[in-house]
Every structure is written in structure tokens, then in C-alpha cells.
Structure 1
Amino acid sequence: MSERHDHPWWESGTVYQIYPRSFQDSDGDGVGDLAGIERRLDHVAALGVDAIWLSPVFPSPMADFGYDVADYCAIDALFGDLAAFDRLLAAVHARGLRLLLDFVPNHSSDQHPWFVDSRSGRDSPKRDWYIWRDPAADGGPPNNWISDFGGSAWEYDPASGQYYLHAFLRQQPDLNWRNPALKAAMLDAMRFWFDRGVDGFRIDVLWHIVKADGFPDNPVNPYWRPGITERDRLIQQHSTDQPEAHAIAAEMRALADAYGAEGRGRVLIGEIFLPNDRHARWYGTPERPQVHLPFNFQLIENAWDAATLRTMVAAYEASLPAHGWPNWVIGSHDAPRIAARVGEAQARVAAMLLLTLRGTPTLYQGDELGIGTVDIPPDRVRDPQELRQPGIGIGRDRSRTPMPWDTSPFAGFSTVEPWLPLNPDWPTRNVAAQKADPGSMLMLYRHLLALRRARPALAVGNFRLLDAADGVLAYERRHGGEVLRVALNLTARAITFDWVGDVLASTLDGAPEPGMLYANEGLIFKP
């Protein structure tokens, strides 16, 4: 696990997200588990990534599929147990990979013993571990805050006559990070997993964890219109991104850094949806750093055209502090799949973009196969966000469908019907089929990841945008004496582009033509 190119592993490496419910079922219940992940580790290692991030595997009633945690220091029986986790961790490390867990600090399950105690009465020792408030003068919720899943962010508790706050489902009460005992307990939970050997955390909705004193109403969003998520009727000015949250992130970072002396640096990745200037603050300062990588979702959120992406990349790079390392994401368990958004041809271009921009890339399982649109029949919808706000296209099930491994029944994922439908083209779009096809999406990802490992310019080099014709995004990567260039045609037409050199990778089969980019063609070349 040595560091490459004199950079920490999390700068030169690549992260691969696994959604455990949908990776591999080992016990025939239709849901993936830890033993299944262990069974499929060779696929991950062969890709050429450096770390695995697991979506939550802690005990949970599964109201939000693991993001409602009932015990921060155990494994849900659906996925296995602590012994199964230890075996997986050892197997990950044996392959030279690292393992990151998904830490959920903003809220717990309403079935967590802490909340059960807190809810038992106003005099409970843990009452203040959660956020309780008296009703407003009219008896309604304390303020106008809206849950991210729709409806009021407050739930009335008749037994105590108060409301508790939940930024997401009512089954996910928000924790009170202003309470020192709660904060200490949560840091102890992180310490539990660090002591067990995990290599870091992806921290869920980190910018949510502290709320403004006094709980004032959030301002109305003048740009909201019907047909988009109800949450966006308001601007989350007072319910997110409070100054005190940065101090907590710095404490988390200090804890992670305390484990770095063991020779395997630990990383913190923060889930943060904010404009560039506020996003950059989550790096902290050199003297008091916060998360190593505040997740950057702009490749998911922006229109897929060269002019938009060029402007976005330049603005993001300019926003970074001198000590801040960039990162990029094109897919996740919450977002529409990249191939569904831009089509398979451009999904190949997107793979080259993701793996050649400056910064740490995060891949999402199945994107290396080019899985596209998966329609979820109404009777198979499982996502609580979609069930609460149907018809506006925010369902996340379409990105959480099981991995197709081969042509055996249920695509080799399970021996029974999986918990969500498979991609409809699984008999031809699966890992085994793409391993046998040199021109497949999987083999393109393998080739691009191998280039990142072999070429310091791609992994850690400097970055410079280049002038290019409309429809083309072009840039240069440089490290020491090595100079590489990337040219991406984001259109379905051929475009003249003045390039010449040795081609290291193309998104298309066949010989590239100097001075030309074919439709949907991306090139990495040495000028």
C-alpha cells in the first residue's frame, strides 16, 4: 500500500462505490451482503481502483436502506456480522485495496436506543441528544423547514408535547451535535471502526449536521416551481452549512490524522452540496484541516456540453484553496446513471473525462458496464423518496439495481428474484460478456485506470485547459517532463481538431485520424 508519485494514496488513487444490497447475494435472499462483496473482490481489483466505499452496512430498520442507523458499531444481520466484516476487510487489504465506510452523522434511526431513550420523556438523560422543540404559537411545527423527502421536517410526539427534527424521513431523527456527550459518542463510533482497520469514511450529508441557533424560518426560494422536489421551495439557509459544523469536521479530521502514523493514511470524504465558494471552506486551513475531499458532484449536476463543462471545470479549479485537492464524481446511488443521462457513446467519453481530470475520481458500481436506463415498475418501487413524491423523476431505485455478472439465472447476482429488477439488457450487458470483448466499456475503464497508474501526469499532474473548437473539451496534464493531452468530442458529429501525437487511449475502436475527432470520440495522446 505504498504511496504513488509522492502523493498520499487518496490523491493519486481512485475510489469505487459499492451499494452492498446490489453487488452480490451470497445467501439466496435476493439482497447483496458482505460475503458476496468478498466473493467479487477480484473484479474490483482487476479494474485498477485503489479503494472501496461501502454504503451503510450498520444495523437498520431499512426505512431508508441503511441511512437510518440503529447501531453505529455493529453490522446488520442482512449483510452478515462483525466477523464477516473483518474477513472482508482482510481480503480487501490482501489485494492492496482500502476500505471506506459510509458514516451517517446527521441522524440516526428512530429505533436507535439513544432515540428510544430520548423519546421516553422530557427528563431523559438523552433528551438533548436529539433536537426537540415546543410547538409554535398555533400548535404547529416550530418553523417552516421542509424535509428533503417532502413534508414538514418536524414530527409531533404526543406523549411529550414536543416536536423532533428530521431532515429526511420521520424515522430518521436529527442528532444534536451541539451536545458534547452526543458528539463524544459519535467520535467514539468513528474510533471503533478506525481501530478495526478501516481506511476512512465517506460522511453522509456532512453540511447538515448543525442547525442555526433559534431555528429561524428558512427563506422562500423565488425560483421554485411545481414539478421539482418540495424541499426546494425554501433555501436551506438556517438548516444547513452552519459555521459550527466546520469545527466538528476539523475534530473528525484530527481523529483520522491520529491514525495516519500507522503507515496507512486515513481519509475523510464529505458529502456536501454547495456553491464553489462555500464548498471550498470544507477543506479547512493548513493549520486546521477539515475533510480531505469535499465531494464534488458538478459532473452530475451540469448540462453535458463542452462549453458548460469547460466553464464549470475552470471555476471549480479556481475555487480550490492551495492545499485543497480536487475530486470528481459522475455517478452514485442517489443520481441517475451516466449512461442513462448521456447515452452509451458519451458515457465512454465521460469515463475518459472522469479518469483524466485533475483530482480523485469516484466510480459507481455498474457504470463500468455502461448500465443505462432501468425502468422500475410501480409495484417494484422501494425508494421512500419516490414513494413520498411520485411523478417528478427523483426515484433512486434506477441507480441501485443489482450488478449483472454473467448469463446464469438472475445474472449471477442471486439464486432468487433480486430485491430490485436487473437492467433489461443483462443477458448481454454483464461482467463476463464485457471481459470477453476488448472493445467493451469494462475494458475501456480497465485501460484508462491502468494509464492513471502508469502515468503520473494523469494521476497527479498539473492541469491546463486548451483552446478547442465548439463541442470539444481539451486539456493538458503535465508532471515533470511528461506532457499528455486529452481531447473529448462531446457531440455526435465529427469535428476538426488540430492534434498530432502518439495515442495512448481512444474511446472508439479503429485508428484515430490526426486533425480530426470522430463523433463521440475521446483521445489521450502524447504530443
Structure 2
Amino acid sequence: MRSILNCLLPFLVLTVLPGTGIAQENHNAQQDERKWWKEAVVYQVYPRSFKDSDGDGIGDLKGIISKLDYIKSLGVNTVWLNPIYSSPNDDNGYDVSDYRNIMKDFGTMADFDALLKGMHDRGIKLVMDLVVNHSSDEHEWFKQSRSSRSNPYRNYYHWWNAENGKPPYRYSLFDINHDAWMYDSLTNAYYLHYFSRKQPDLNWENPKLRSEVYNIMKFWADKGIDGFRLDAFQFAAKDTTFPAFPKGFEKNFILYYAMQGNLHGYLQEMHQEVLSKYDVMSVAEGAGNSFEDAHNLVDADRHELNMAYAFEGVDIAKPQGYSLLHFKEVFSRWDSAFANAGWLSIFLANHDQARLVSRFGNDDPKFREGSAKMLATFIMTMRGTPYYYNGDELGMTNANFSSINDYRDMPVLNEYKHQENIGGDMEKFMKFTKATSRDNSRTPFQWDNTKNAGFSVGTPWIKVNPNYTSINAAAQEKDPNSCLNYFRSLLKLRAANIPVLVYGKYTLLDKNNPHVYAYVRENSGEKLLVLLNFSASNAQAVLPRMTGRPELLLSNYKQPPQFDKTYSKITLKAYEAAVFKL
């Protein structure tokens, strides 16, 4: 949820700057014990939009089951599944009303069991979202909590009694008025909700609540799932004295919300009670406000989580464009900080972002395929566990909805009403939303050129992108040079070079080149050179002089780039990507 902020706050500057400067020296490869979650390639499946099996216009578990062979064919070995728990669907499943049951839209627990078995039979692991910063207001815990001040569940949530006056202001990301305190007349009190008013925040100071969560985790781990992604968990701990925050704190609210209170104590307890007892991977959404925060989350001797899922890189892209120099600096800085300890995830897209190629590449038909392949090459050749969002392997683009009636995302609809209420610039808001809305990534998966892109025989819950007639999986299956088949080749390359691409040292080359990202990955004498042109025109890279001709392993052009006679210069075509063995 953290990354939605760029979509909802077009008039605020939100920055997280976890560190300073780019590393001036290179580090040896990590000598940690090999772990499956370090070598995983995580494919994110958004179930509501992936494949509908029953014609109600909503993707479901049986739909995913029908496409498991497709997922396997990509070369991925892990799936992250967005929430499928029972939910009134205020925030597309991130408002859970029963953590041990399946949302009716998606199917039944028997369907889930069949899905898990189908994945495991194909050698695919399953990571599930754990949404426990908040629940739905329709969860039985909250129904009990709001029923009376003396109810045993009262302390499962954060309440402020109205006779003590209005509570100190807290900013809500999703509420129409952006006020995170909601008055409830039943007990004459306010409850806290950092997100929607239908998503009351859970009180992690309460050991009974924590025990409930750990039992939920054990329930799913005992079923055989392979990991947990902790949604919005960096916000879970609060200072329950609720001190007043300085005026304007919203512009950098992450500094006041993230990594507060006894968060690390809760994670260490979670590790002791659950994570240490199963062979599961764990990752929290967000990595705090500094490298120290991130390391405290994931360094092995901390006994908390496996990897950091940091947002500084994905937040670089803006509607007006971005600087490749800044892009290189950020990713090089994070790599340097985690070269010897801890572990990172590498990603540029997810369900909270607009489409990868529209944000970081170029969705002009002339450049879409090339830039999509180039961006995939970056993600799969950096150190860290790569996360790849469904549909990006096809180069799916933004939907570019022009009417507010086309949007389904609750925060966008609430912000639209908020801007209307305050007399905001609606044209500016709609232009910004068109480029950044997370509904851009939630349009149905484009399977073929039949009605509704082969997603559903019914009316889809959200409009299909009209370009499905030309951008779809069926057409790309037949084209050996398609984005889809390039993605498969790229994953074969990664699988064949795990020691160097997963654990190897990263060295940035041609640092000040504004168009080309060049780097070497190296381990135990093996060296791979990665060259990526992030521009729409030819660009030259200047490299250290090499002895001997580099061996081309992969290129996204039929005619790969050629070095000069000294092997120190190379010209790359628009959005060209090439990987060489040195």
C-alpha cells in the first residue's frame, strides 16, 4: 500500500532518503548460506484480474489453476498472491473480514487447496499477503470491539474516548477527508484508521491480538504455503499516547508512521513463534526510513524477516519523466548497502503502481516492446530477489482511463470527491490520475484477442485495455521475438547463472552516462556485462578496455550491438539490452 501515495497526493512531496552518496568501492559476493528465497523469481498474481472461470467478470482461484501451466512456462518458481481472504472488498481484499476463509468472489477453500497442490506439483512456491496492520470493520473482532468499552476485544483496536476531546490529528491515506480518526457514536469514541475508514488499525501492543495473528499464520503455514508478505507492516506499531505531530507532517508522514514503537520486538516475537518453525520466506512492505532501519528488519542475526522491499527505486518514475543518473545512483546505493549483509528485493512494478513499461519505459508502439524487454533485463540481472507483476511479461500498458466513471479504486474515488470538496484543480487531478492510478495495473490480463481479452465471458469488473487485440499472450506465444518469449529466455539465462546473477558482486560502469546503464556482475572469476539503453535514440557506452571478445548471451534486438576494435566503446540502439560474458 505504501506506493499508492504517489497516486493519491499529487500536490504533496513525499520523500524517503535512506542514505547518502553512491558507494565508491565494490564488495565481495555474499558468502551467506544459499537460500531458496534468494534464488527465487517471484511472479505476482492479482487474482481479481488474472482469469475468470465462471463468467461473473471477476478473476478467481479456478481461473488461476487453469493458467498454472502458463505460469510454469515463464520460468518463475514462486507466486505472490494478492489477498484472497473473506472481505467486503472496500480495498480490493486488503480489508479482511475473516483470515481463515476465502472471498466468495474467488471461490472456496477447496479451490485454494487445489491451487496450492497444482503449484507445488509444478515446483512453484506460494507466498501470501498477510494484511494485519488493519482489518475490515466487518471483521468479528471489530464488531465486538465497537459494541462496548468493556468488551474483551475493545483493545484489539485503537480507541480514543470522545469525552477526552478530539484526538490529535492523524493523516489517513484513503479517507475522503484524510482524517484517520473516525467517530463511532455507539460508544462515543473515535477509532484509528491509517487507510480507509473501513480498515481500522489493529493494536499490536495487545499480546492477545499478536497471538491471534500468529495462529492465523500457523493456519496457513500448516496448509503448506511458502511465505508471507506483510502488507503495510512498517506502520503496525504506534505510540499509543498519540502525541501531537508538527503541522504539515503529512508531507513526510512516513517519518512519523514507519518503524515506530516496538515494531522490531513484534517481528522478533513473530519469528520465534512462527517464522523460525517453517521453511517460509518473509518480506515486509516497506523498509523504514534509513539503511539502518532496513538492516534491522532483515539482517540474519536480527531474527526478524528475510528481505527488504524498499520503495525508493520504484518511486523514481514520475509522469514528467525521470533521470537515469538518479535511477543508477539509487540502485547502486542500495546494492552497496546490502552487499555484505541482509537481502533486497528488486522490482519496478506491482498492484499499487501504474504499468511498468508506461512508467519506466516507453509505451509508444514503436518502443514498447524494446523498452519492456530492457526493463525486464534490468530486474533479472541485478542482485536481489526479483518481483515481476503479471502482464508485464507481455509489455501491457496503462489503460489511460479518461473518465472518473472508469475507475474502481476506492482511494482514487475518495480523492476525487476530496478535490471536488476543496475546490481542487480537477483537470490537473485527472491528468495525474490517468498516468499514475493503480487501476492501470489492475485491468484484466490480456490472454488473447477474443472478447474481453479472453479474461471472462461476462462483463469484467473493470474495463479491459482496448489494445488487447494487439497485445496479448496468444499472439506472443507464436512470435519468437515477442516480449513474452524474451522474458522466458531471460529467466533461463538467470537460472543458468545463479552464482553470478544472484550472489555476485555488482560494479557500476560509465557512471555519468545519462542514457546507458552499464554494470558487471561477478563471482568466482565469472563475469557478466549488462548494457541497457534507457533512451529512445542511439547511445554510446564507454567501458574499461577488455582483453578478448565478449560473448553475447542475450540481446533484445535481432542484430546485437558491436564493440569497437578496442572493446571499450559500444553503441546501443533505442532501448537496447545486451548481456555479455567476459
Q: State whether structure 2 residue 447 is matched by structure 1 residue 402.
A: no
Q: CA deviation at 1:278?
A: 4.7
Comparing 239-248 with 297-306, which one deviates more in the overlay?
Answer: 297-306
Mapped to 1, the partners of 2:242 and 2:486 lie a distance apart of 50
Q: Distance in 2 between matches of 1:464 and 1:26?
A: 47
Q: Superposed, which structure 2 residues align to 1:154-193 within 5 Å?
A: 154-193=181-220
Q: Determine whether 1:295 maps to 2:350.
A: no
Q: Deviations over 1:229-251 (max 9, x none)?
A: xxx44524443311411111222
- Aligned partner letter, 1:157: D
Unaligned runs of 5+ in 1: 223-231
1:378 aligns with 2:404: yes
- Corresponding residue for residue 326 of structure 1: 344
1:357–1:458 CA contact under 8 A, matched in 2: yes
2:160 maps to 133
**What is the identity, as a one-letter code, of the residue corresponding to 1:462?**
K
1:25 Cα deviation from its structure 2 partner: 0.3
Q: Residue 382 of structure 2 aligns to which amino acid in structure 1?
A: L
Find the aligned partners of 2:82 and 2:193 in 1 and give their Cα distance. Answer: 21
Q: 1:240: which partner in 2? A: 258
* 8 Å CA contact retained: 1:211, 1:238: no
- Report the CA distance shift for 1:235/1:348 in structure 2 as closer, same or farther (over 3 A): same
1:429 to 453, 464, 471: 471
Question: Quick check: 1:219–1:235 contact (8 Å CA) kept in 2?
Answer: no
> Normalised by the size of structure 1, how large is the TM-score?
0.92
Opposite residue 576 of structure 2, the aligned amino acid is E
Measure, in 2, the Cα distance between the counterparts of 1:104 and 1:248. Answer: 15
What is the CA-CA distance between 1:175 and the residue it aligns to? 0.5
SS in 2 for 1:379: helix
For residue 100 of structure 2, give the secondary structure of its aligned residue in structure 1.
Answer: coil
1:485 to 511, 520, 529: 529
SS in 1 for 2:466: coil
Q: Deviations over 1:96-131 (max 9, x none)?
A: 010011100100000100000001000101000110
Q: Take 1:65 and 1:33, find their aligned partners in 2: how far apart are those partners?
A: 13
Of stretches 319-328 and 410-419 in structure 1, the one that deviates more from structure 2 is 319-328
Q: Tell me, yes or no, if structure 1 residue 472 matches structure 2 residue 516.
A: yes
Aligned to 1:524: 579
Alignment correspondent of 1:454: 496
Aligned equivalents of 2:388, 2:65: Cα separation in 1: 18
Question: How many angstroms does 1:339 deviate by?
Answer: 1.2
CA–CA distance in structure 2, aligned partners of residues 439 and 297 of structure 1:
32
Task: Render the CA deviation track for 1:119-148: whole Å, top value 9, x for unaligned.
Answer: 1000101000110012386x43x0111101
Match of 1:338 in 2: 356
| AA of the residue aligned to 1:354 | I
User: Aligned partners of 1:239 and 1:307: how far apart in 2?
Assistant: 30
Question: Are 1:317 and 2:335 matched, yes or no?
Answer: yes
CA, structure 1 residues 287+455, in 2 after alignment: closer, same or farther (shift >3 Å)?
closer
Q: Look up the SS of the partner of 2:532 in the other structure.
A: strand
2:556, 2:315 → 1: CA distance? Answer: 23
Letter in 2 for 1:358: R
SS at 2:151's partner residue?
A: coil
Aligned partners of 1:33 and 1:79 also within 8 Å:
yes
Distance 2:170 2:130 in 1: 24
**For residue 551 of structure 2, what is the amino acid of its counterpart?**
D
CA drift of 1:90 comes to 0.3
Q: Distance in 2 between matches of 1:279 and 1:321?
A: 16
Q: Secondary structure at the match of 2:313?
A: helix
| C-alpha distance in structure 1 between counterparts of 2:445 and 2:246, whole Å | 42
Aligned match of 1:387? 413
Indicate the residue corresponding to 1:352 in structure 2.
Answer: 377
Distance 1:235 1:218, change over 3 A: farther
1:285 Cα offset (Å): 4.3
Counterparts in 2 of 1:509 and 1:297: CA distance versus 1, 3 Å = farther
- Corresponding position of 1:55: 82
- Counterpart in the other structure of 2:108: 81
Partner in structure 2 of residue 153 of structure 1: 180
Distance in 1, Cα, partners of 2:290 & 2:171 = 24
Cα distance between partner residues in 2 of 1:401 and 1:259: 38
State the one-letter code of the partner of 2:406. Answer: R
Distance 2:121 2:531 in 1: 37
The answer to whether the 8 A contact 2:50-2:444 is kept is yes
- The answer (yes or no) to whether the contact 2:298–2:308 under 8 Å persists in 1 is no
- Asked if the contact 1:218–1:239 (Cα under 8 Å) also holds between the matched residues in 2, the reply is no
- The superposition leaves residues 69-95 of structure 1 with CA deviations (integer Å, 9 ceiling, x where unpaired) of 001111111111111100000000000
Cα distance, 1:210 vs structure 2: 0.8
Partners in 2 of 1:368 and 1:92 — Cα distance? 19
> SS of the residue aligned with 1:422?
coil
Aligned position for 2:272? 254
Moved more, 490-499 or 181-190: 490-499
Q: 1:497 aligns with which of 541, 545, 561?
A: 541
Separation in 2, partners of 1:47, 1:37: 14
- 1:420 maps to 462
- CA positional deviation for 1:508: 2.2
For 1:176, the aligned partner's letter is N
Secondary structure of the residue aligned to 1:72 is strand
User: What value does the CA root-mean-square deviation take over the aligned residues?
Assistant: 1.9
Measure the CA separation in 2 of the matches of 1:330 and 1:429.
20
Identity of aligned residues (%): 37
2:510/2:541 contact within 8 Å kept: no
Check conservation: 1:280, 1:321, Cα contact below 8 A. Answer: no
Q: Return closer, same or farther for 1:496/1:198 CA change in 2, 3 Å cut-off.
A: same
> Does 2:257 correspond to 1:208?
no
**Normalising to structure 2: TM-score of the pair?**
0.84
SS of the residue 2:63 aligns to: helix
State the one-letter code of the partner of 1:21. Answer: R
Is the CA contact (8 Å cut-off) linking 1:54 and 1:100 kept in structure 2?
yes
Distance 1:374 1:50 in 2: 29
Counterpart for residue 558 of structure 2 = 509
